Amino acid sequence: MKILFLAAEAAPFVKVGGLSQVMYYLPRALAKRGHDVRLFTPHYGSMDASTLQKRRWKRQDEAWELSVPVASAGQAPGEDGLAEDIACAVTSWKPSDRNAWAYFLENKEYYELRANVFGYADDHVRFALLARACLEWLRAMHEAEENGDDGAWWPDVIHCHDWHASYFIDLARRDPRYKDMLSGLPIVLTVHNFKYQANGDLRYVPEEEVDDGREPLAPLGAKRLQKQNALKRGLLYADAVTTVSPTHALEVLTPEYAEGLDHTLHEIRGKLSGILNGIDTDEFDPSSDPIVRHRYSRWRYASARAANKKLIQKEFALPTDPKAFLLAFVGRLSSQKGLDMIVDALPHLLAEHPNAQFIAVGGGDDRYRASLEELKQAYPEQVGLHLLPDFRLPRRLFSSADLVLMPSLFEPGGLVALEALRYGAVPLVRRTGGLNDSIQEFDPAEKEGNGFSFERKDPWSLYGAVMTAMTVYRQPALWDKLVSNCLDCDFSWDPPAKQYESWYKQAVRERARASRTESE
């Protein structure tokens, strides 16, 4: 199949959040399965062409000069005086291996002269422009294909990601300039986080201004555009929708997780499913990871992990006790990650169990930073902190910690748990989202399972789960079996790629039927 990905960020070109990582690894996994995968994304000012060249991407001679309309036919351009069209260019870079071929949208005002990827007052304009420019580029491709141009490329399916790319879905299905051209082409959407639906929090829009998703998408220069819910429109007009885990696909049908989209999600329930993300098992590999001091395999790991534990204890000025029960937290310091439960439960745990140690790595909310600092002052021999984002330190922690705490209030995917499993650190999770799909409660009798869990959003539930884990830890043979189970888990990108492949094929079949019905 020929698959086009449309996203606001993609590694290795830019790395902001988890979306960028998925945009690197999923296309790569699909390409390894023989598919022709292309990626369309903005060319940001933070991107360095030399980095692409070092990674053996080669810029192609083909390029497109585009005049992108700011409005659909019959619409006024907008209130803020934007021109009738915006000049853009699209350049292409071809990888030397089986990575996705990358197409970059170039425009100095909206992308290349911006220091950051996100966070601007006109982000809704920037990403609606991304959608319109991609559609104009596809028009050029379609014309080239019809003229018999050998270099023309036309996808079999278009895969959009998050609210930034949802403008594309609305325009592709409803704008007369594009809808006939794309009528037979399935357009699918993956939502990585339902909390983000447009540029700004739409929960505070006056009721009479709430977007129902039915009126035409406003022009780029219209103030109304910022109040239109891009994600809602993507959900309504996509041929199929996935979340990043099967459990989260069920959770978002409840008010607790729907982020205000309850009615819309129930309306499109028939086309909603979930596919769990994977991790790159070549990069995250304790047997070859250069970041890990003492490397190990799934067959021989005990002595190396013990040595790594000693190193991390020294690094954080904790007693080098091989029998200490080392707990870890890696991630953003935010309420979503269950930090309230952690800071409430840990003082009791550390006071009652002097052999317990805790290390936290990550930046975020100053409120949690202060609470953790207070915890360290109260228990300096048991608590180590690095309250800044860090790329290298989490892997060293995973290769040494006994238990990784993930009491998240919601967790669509849960990549940290997969990374912990890969290094033999046992996850303790609250049963939500991808954590529910990846972690199986350890059964000491059957010696099956790969972690511990609880359900209630309560610090004492977290405390009880830690006590259960500590009980197993005090039985070395049983704990060793649990660590072995973790290392045996396969959360590579290969299984998700197969599921996405089947999902695409189903979307192609259903779109073909829909196209026939529409033509009749």
In tens, the pLDDT along 415-459 reads 999 999 999 999 999 999 999 999 999 999 999 999 999 999 999
Question: Which residue's structure tokens are 């021109």?
Answer: 83
| Lowest-pLDDT choice from 94-98, 144-148, 371-375, 505-509 | 94-98
Residue 444 has phi, psi (to 5 degrees) of -60, -30
Looking at residue 53, its pLDDT comes to: 67
Q: Which of 420, 474, 409, 470 is nearest to 450 (CA)?
A: 420
Indicate if 265 and 346 belong to the same structural domain: no
Asked if residue 37 and residue 21 are part of one domain, the reply reads: yes
* In the predicted structure, residue 208 carries a pLDDT above the cut 90: no
Q: What tokens appear for 231 in the block?
A: 């994600």
Residue 28 and residue 13 in one domain: yes
Q: Is 293 inside any structural domain? A: no
pLDDT tens-digit profile of 456-505?
999 999 999 999 999 999 999 999 999 999 999 999 999 999 999 999 99
433 within some domain: yes
- Provide the b/e sequence for 463-477 (b: ≥16 CB within 10 Å): bebbebbbebbeeee
Residue 292 within any structural domain of the chain: no
Same domain for 269 and 309, yes or no, is: no
Task: Judge if 484 and 514 occupy the same domain.
Answer: no
Q: Do 246 and 327 lie in a common domain?
A: no
CA atoms within 13 A on the CB side of 96: 7
Distance CA(192)–CA(234), nearest Å, equals 13
The stretch 357-383 carries a mean pLDDT of 96
* pLDDT number for residue 115: 81
One-letter amino acid for residue 261 of the chain = L
* Amino acid 83: pLDDT: 62
- Does 78 share its domain with 181? yes
Cα–Cα distance, 469 to 69 (Å, whole number): 59
Q: For residue 290, tell me if it sits in a domain.
A: no
Within this chain, do residues 315 and 218 fall inside the same structural domain, yes or no? no
> Does pLDDT of 383 surpass 60?
yes
Q: Alpha-carbon distance 469 to 218, whole Å?
A: 54
Q: Amino acid identity, residue 127? A: F
Residue 432 near residue 410, CB atoms below 8 Å? yes
Of 126, 251, 238, nearest to 195 by C-alpha is: 251
Average pLDDT over residues 101-113: 94
pLDDT beyond 60 at 9 = yes
Q: Are 427 and 421 in contact (CB under 8 A)?
A: yes
Percent of the chain residues topping a pLDDT of 90:
80
Residue whose entry in the numeric block shows the structure tokens 């089986």: 98
Residue with token string 């596919």 = 275
Alpha-carbon 260 to chain mean position: 20
Residue 125 to residue 226: CA distance in whole angstroms: 8
- CA distances (Å), origin 165, targets 24, 78, 227: 16, 21, 16
The dihedral through the CA atoms of 301, 303, 307, 312 has a sign that is positive
What is the predicted pLDDT for the residue at 96? Answer: 75
Provide mean pLDDT across the span 242-256.
96
Mean pLDDT of the chain: 93
CA 374 – CA 368 distance, rounded (Å): 10
Question: Average pLDDT for residues 14-18, to the nearest whole number?
Answer: 81
| 85-95: strand order across its sheet | 57-69, 85-95, 101-106, 36-42, 2-6, 157-161, 187-191, 240-243, 272-274
User: pTM, whole model, 2 decimals?
Assistant: 0.92
Q: What is the 3-state secondary structure (H, E, C) of 161-207?
A: EHHHHHHHHHHHHHCCCCCCCCCCCCEEEEECCCCCCCCCCHHHCCH
* The two structure tokens encoding residue 140: 């050029």
Domain of 82? 2-278+495-519
What's the structural domain count of the chain?
Answer: 2
Q: Is 208 or 215 the better-scoring residue by pLDDT?
A: 215
Most confident of 89-93, 193-197, 471-475: 471-475
| Residues 20 and 158 both lie in one domain | yes
Q: Is the pLDDT of residue 81 over 60?
A: no
Phi, psi of 106, rounded to the nearest 5 degrees: -110, 130
CATH number at residue 36: 3.40.50.2000
- pLDDT of amino acid 246: 96
The model's confidence at residue 13, banded by pLDDT at 50, 70 and 90, is confident
pLDDT tens digits, one per residue of 291-318: 999 999 999 999 999 999 999 999 999 9
35 and 134 assigned to the same domain: yes
Residue that has been written with the tokens 């309850």 in this structure: 262
Residue type, 249: A
Please indicate, yes or no, if residue 124 is contained in any of the structural domains. Answer: yes
Same domain? 393 vs 371? yes
Asked if residue 373 is part of any domain, the answer here is yes
Exposed e or buried b per residue across 344-374, where buried means at least 16 C-beta atoms within 10 angstroms of its C-beta: ebbeebbeeeeebbbbbbbbbeeebbebbee
Within a domain: residue 121? yes
Write the DSSP symbol of residue 266.
H
- Residue range 365-386: average pLDDT? 97
**144 found inside a domain:** yes
Residue tagged 């990108």 (tokens): 493
Do 507 and 474 share a structural domain?
no
| CA 279-20-434 angle, 5° bins | 45
**Residue 411 pLDDT > 90:** yes
Rounded to an integer, what distance in angstroms lies between the CA atom of residue 144 and that of residue 225? Answer: 32
What average pLDDT does this structure show over 120-133?
96
